[in-house]
A = this chain, B = another copy of it.
Amino acid sequence: MEPTTRVVPQVQEHLEALKERLLVMGGLAEEQVRLVSAALVDRDVDLAARVQAGDEPLNILHKEIDQRCVRVLALHQPVAIDLRAVLAAVKINTDLERVGDLAVNVAEAVHRYLQHPPVDVAERIPRMADLAQRMLRDALDAYVRQAVPLAEHVLQTDDLVDALKNEVSAALVPVMEASPAVIAPALDVILIARHLERIADHATNIAEDVIFMVSARDVRHHGPTA
């Protein structure tokens, strides 16, 4: 299977289009995370409802990108880094769709949470949302630019988000024990922290896919080089 001069530029064109669509999808996912964090901070129930209803564009893009991936593999048989880039796109697409679902889950929890007086969340939740957004942006930027150091930076930031999630639970359990009235809203804050941590996990997955795509090196499971 030799690449011909006729086929290779077509593959590149399709890959560029794929990347462009993934960036659009990533932008939408980030925006959902940004809005739901604002809904929590500003106690804006309407904004939370908008996020809850707002993932249809992501779902449509999810299907479109999957179809583009199948088509480019079927018609152009990319090899080496181009093949890995398409397989990375298949996975990144799944991750971004899940981020959209999780933003909706956060919005549902925010919606319930806002029915109660505020629980002190010590700025950890908006901070987690900011970090998750930045991780998503950096991971996609790393995909487009094939930038391994940036992808590695995303992996490091994930530890910070995990630590914040654990802090939220550790801080709220004694509050719940001291005051039964806050149990329901505190439970929602704990869930929100967990959903945000999972969003950060999806950004981490994307970063790992980028490292595999560029270097054909599998950094998952912290195991030896594959």
Whether B183 lies near A220 (C-beta < 8 A) is no
Interface residues of A in 62-91 (CB under 8 A from B): 62-63, 66-67, 69-70, 73-74, 77, 79-80, 83-84, 87, 90-91
A218 touches which one: B66, B74, B194 (CB < 8 A)?
Answer: B66
Docked complex Cα distance between A220 and B67 (Å): 13
Instruction: Indicate the size class of the contact surface on chain A.
Output: 35 or more
Whether B87 lies near A73 (C-beta < 8 A) is yes
B-binding segment of A17-25, A28-36, A145-153, A173-181: A173-181
Known: A63-B226, A94-B94. A74 touches B79 (CB 8 A): yes
Whether A63 lies near B177 (C-beta < 8 A) is no
Q: Does A1 contact B (CB under 8 A)?
A: yes
Known: A67-B226, A87-B69, A177-B180. A77 touches B221 (CB 8 A): no
Docked complex Cα distance between A63 and B226 (Å): 8
CB distance from A217 to the nearest CB of B (A): 11
Whether B221 lies near A63 (C-beta < 8 A) is yes
Q: Does A190 contact B (CB under 8 A)?
A: yes
A177 touches which one: B74, B178, B183 (CB < 8 A)?
Answer: B183
Q: Does A184 contact B (CB under 8 A)?
A: yes
Q: List 5 additional contacts besides A74-B79, A173-B184; criterion CB under 8 Å.
A: A1-B77, A63-B218, A63-B226, A77-B77, A191-B194
Q: Which A residues fall within an 8 A CB radius of B?
A: 1, 56, 59-60, 62-63, 66-67, 69-70, 73-74, 77, 79-80, 83-84, 87, 90-91, 94, 169, 173, 176-178, 180-181, 183-184, 187, 190-191, 194, 218, 220-221, 223, 226
